[in-house]
Structure 1
Amino acid sequence: MLRSSLITLWTVLLCAPMLAQDLTVATWGGAYEAAQRKAVFAPFSETTGHAVEALQYDGTVAALRDRAAAEGWDVIDMLADQARVACAEGLLLRLDAQALVGNAAMADFAPHTPTRCAIPQNVYARVMAYDERAFPGIKPTRIEDFFDTTRFPGKRAVQHGPDGILEWALLAEGVPPEQVYGLLSTDRGLRLAFRKLDTIREYILWWDDPAQPAQMLAEGHAVMASGFNGRFFDVARRGAVPVDIAWDGRIIGTEVWAIPATTETARLARRFLVHALQPAIMARFSERIPYGPARKSAFERIGLNPETGIPMRVHLPNAPQHGGRALVRDAAWYANTRALRQRRFQSWLDQEE
């Protein structure tokens, strides 16, 4: 009787469908995550049988430190500089990029190449956008116009921190893009940047959530905004508000894939990276949201948005036709100067007007 029961139980276990292990990915939410779900996550699940659960976080190393183990994060979408910090703290697994994408593909990554703990996946840009309704005549076209409240009056939406605005301040002072980060590494450069920021202090509306600057333009609270190109594209695409982007002074940053050190599914996480880093997958993602692929071979694969029919290449931050000045975000500089920048920024905020 016991033997018969054991045989029956063993037969049931053999015949029962195996439950595929899920993968938990920490990412940014919003339209960005929606594009990832369709272009990256769904194809991975269809191919492998492993479901992908997406969790939203704020992009900080603190969130990785506090939440990854408790929530079972397996893969994380990060800014390149935050990944450097997390890697140095031992919060990320070391990655053998050559083993994951192949030795020949290493030269295909641009503008940044893989690092010890992270591999580039897409590029975005911090850009100046404006409400066309506020300027029926001459339009703002250069980053200097962001600081010109005489010709272009009105409130400016700016991230509540030193990121991006310090670079713009030096560009508006005539500093060549290739000299910006070197100058910001000096006391003289920081004083020059904050002095320029003084000229628009009373016109600034601070934002913390990346969705806010586009909303501020759409709702008429600000006439210009510093924010991410994909957010402004989404508002303009919906057509409710005539929002346009001035590409001059764009700061091109890199998003990377990384694996938290606390993952219990490292093998599956690496399998996901192999999938997500394919040029075809990168191109599919860029067709859904205007963030450029981090591999050069993916660019020519990008076609029309599958839902709107919009040709997407022209809207990408690394599209060659934009012209104007461009600055590649220096991930190493950001990782190494975080405390200094925050301290000087807070000191500037605390000054009396």
Structure 2
Amino acid sequence: MLALSLVASVPFVATSAMAQDKLSVMSFGGAYQEAQRKAVFETYAASTGIKIDEQEYGGEIAKIKAMIESGNTTVDVVDVDAPTLLQGCDEGIFEKIDWSAIGPKDDWIDGTTSECGVGTIVYATTLAYDGAKLPNGPSTIKDLFDTKKFPGKRGLWKNPATNLEFALLADSVPADKVYETLSTPEGVDRAFAKLDTIKDSIVWWEAGAQAPQLLASGEVVMTTAWNGRIYNANKEGKDFRLVWDNQILDSNYWVIPKGAKSPDRSLAFIKYAVEPKVLAGITKYIPYGPVRKSSAEFVAPEDAKNLPTSPQNLTVSLTLDNAFWADNGDEIRKRFTTWLAQ
């Protein structure tokens, strides 16, 4: 019997050892996950001997919840956007983060730390234009609303988020007062009144790929756009230029789903993934900025010029307040839809 029990235990020991040599990480796929693979996953495996078992998803919180509710959490770490982070924290489906094991919070850009998520990358919504068609293009967010200085159509994301913020910033509201202003009926009125001044000149886009397409076709003289989309267009030979003034920043976060097999191992991976040099490594492959200020010195100059978080670009900026939109978004979106139809 003893011999049989020893033999029977061998597969279990082997399986446990194999499990300890792997960590399951879920992210968004595409060029972003390819950058993570090169800068984070492969280097982590090389330094620890722990292979990353990659998973992909489209950002759906339902997929994470279904896994947890099944009682079989098969993913150890997940990359989530800010709205998913907020909802997941509120619903208690993410583990609390022990920040003493990660690093000093004051090294993270404002708005990129959470009790259950660790900021990883920063991307931006900015103003962009075609340098080939407009050599002396816009230089501030105010130029988006100046149709005398820059006549022609403007591209805007068909969403109140970012547009109301840009409107107030262009109307001389300081970045640190934007959400305080938007929290009042008068502030919302003010933002819509500013948008009214260019309403007849707006071409709306809905998918991120449309913004550079509008520039390329000449349908608009400028457009708001996600910085990564402009970067990709320039890799294909375009001369699109970004106006970093009053860019609006947003972030992704690493989280540990409830029921993860080994939260300590998950946390150790996150600690590695947000080390300043590792974060800087991502910028070699995709123009998303590191969330840590101490990463700046490790970013190559040729990469730094494309990042929203580089000191030369991070002059005047606003971090998108996803909590504000979670609380007020439904009401403002109804007004936005009505305004569009008027």
Place the TM-score, normalised by the shorter chain, in its bin.
0.7 to 0.9
1:56 maps to which residue? 57
Distance in 2 between residues matched to 1:26 and 1:34, nearest whole Å: 12
Q: 1:10 to 1:341 in 2, by over 3 A?
A: same
State the partner residue of 2:32. 32
Change (3 A) 1:140 1:50: same
Q: Is contact 2:307–2:313 with CA below 8 Å preserved after alignment?
A: no
Q: Are residues 1:160 and 2:147 paired?
A: no
CA contact (8 A) 1:157 1:213 kept: yes
The reply on whether 1:142 has 2:140 as its aligned counterpart is yes
Alignment of 1:34-183 (within 5 A): 34-46=34-46, 47-58=48-59, 61=61, 64-65=64-65, 72-98=74-100, 100-102=101-103, 105-112=104-111, 114-136=113-135, 138-183=136-181
Distance 1:69 1:269, change over 3 A: farther
Written as runs of structure 1 = structure 2, the 5 A alignment for 1:339-350 is: 339-349=330-340
Q: 1:229 aligns with which of 227, 230, 242?
A: 227
Equivalent position to 2:307, from 292, 302, 316: 316
Give 2:246's aligned amino acid: G
Structure 1 residue 201: Cα displacement = 3.1
CA-to-partner distance for each residue in 1:7-39, whole Å, 9 max, x for gaps? 777778878995346544343333222211111
| Counterpart among 188, 191, 197 of residue 190 in structure 1 | 188
Query: Amino acid of the residue matched to residue 96 of structure 1?
Result: D
1:325 aligns with 2:316: yes
Amino acid at match of 1:170: L
When residues 259 and 208 of structure 1 are mapped into structure 2, their CA distance, relative to the original with a 3 A threshold, is farther
Within 5 Å, which residues of 2 pair with 1:198-237?
Answer: 198-236=196-234
CA shift, 1:243, in A, is 0.6
For residues 51 and 277 of structure 2, the distance between their equivalents in structure 1, rounded to whole angstroms, comes to 20
Local SS of the residue matching 1:234 = helix
Distance 1:26 1:51, change over 3 A: closer
Q: Is this contact kept in 2: 1:20–1:51, CA < 8 A?
A: no
Deviation at 1:69, TM superposition (A): 5.9
Q: Percent same amino acid among aligned pairs?
A: 34
2:284 maps to a residue whose letter is: E
Distance 2:148 2:196 in 1: 15
Residues in 1 aligned to 2:329 and 2:262: alpha-carbon distance in whole angstroms? 32
Q: Aligned in 2, Cα 1:106/1:323: closer, same or farther, shift over 3 Å?
A: closer
CA distance in 1, matches of 2:319, 2:2: 69
Tell me how far apart the structure 1 counterparts of residues 15 and 85 of structure 2 sit (CA, whole Å).
Answer: 41
Pick aligned residue for 2:271 from 270, 274, 286:
274
Q: Give the conservation status (yes or no) of the 8 Å contact 2:23–2:50.
A: no
1:275 partner amino acid: Y
1:273-331 deviations in Å (ceiling 9; x for gaps): 12212122111112332222222222212226xxxxxx222322122223763223334
Whole-Å separation in 2 of the counterparts to 1:81 and 1:249 = 22
**Cα deviation, residue 246, structure 1:** 0.8
- State which drifts further: 106-115 or 63-72: 63-72
Deviation at 1:151, TM superposition (A): 3.6
Question: Residues of 2 paired with 1:84 and 1:50: CA distance?
Answer: 29
Give the TM-score of the pair, scaled to structure 1: 0.82
Q: Secondary structure at the match of 1:134?
A: coil
Match of 2:241 among 231, 241, 244: 244
In 1, distance between residues paired with 2:320 and 2:8?
59
Q: Identify the residue that residue 293 of structure 2 maps to in structure 1.
A: 296
Distance in structure 1 (CA, Å) of the matches to 2:285 and 2:246: 24
1:169, distance to aligned residue in structure 2 (A):
0.7
Alignment: residue pair count: 338
Judged with a 3 Å threshold, the aligned counterparts in structure 2 of structure 1 residues 277 and 225 are, in CA distance, closer, same or farther, namely same
Q: Assess if the C-alpha contact under 8 Å between 2:143 and 2:150 holds in 1.
A: yes
Q: Which runs of 5+ in 2 are unaligned?
A: none
The more displaced of 270-279 and 193-202 is 193-202
Give the root-mean-square deviation of aligned CA atoms.
3.2
Structure 2: distance between partners of 1:26 and 1:9 = 33
Aligned residue identity for 2:307: L
